Amino acid sequence: MSNWYLYLLECRGGSLYSGISNNVEKRYAAHQAGKGARYTRSFPPQRIALIVEYTSKSEALKAEHAVKAMSAAQKRAWLAANVPHLADGE
């Protein structure tokens, strides 16, 4: 059984995109090449902001659904809580 990951990308314009994958590096490369999601074709990713590991695809999907239900402000607060240096404005 392979691990699955929820990832957040910071995209052009400062927006955040969330997705899941069992190979984040490969998925990120696809997003950068314009072969990922429709959203990232319009707003290309600038960096991976966060990766959270899950033991199953089901868990990762549930987490992604919860993140997608958040407002932009809630996503940024959640991101800052999980990546402490972001709270300092770095």
The per-residue pLDDT for range 6-65, each reduced to its tens digit, is 999 999 999 999 999 999 999 999 999 999 899 999 999 999 999 999 999 999 999 999
CA 24 to CA 58: how far, in whole Å? 16
Report the predicted TM-score, pTM, of the whole model to 2 decimal places: 0.88
Name the burial class of residue 59, with classes exposed (0-12), middle (13-18) and buried (19+) by CB atoms within 10 angstroms of its CB: middle
Sorted by where each starts, the structural domains of the chain and their CATH numbers stand as 4-84 (3.40.1440.10)
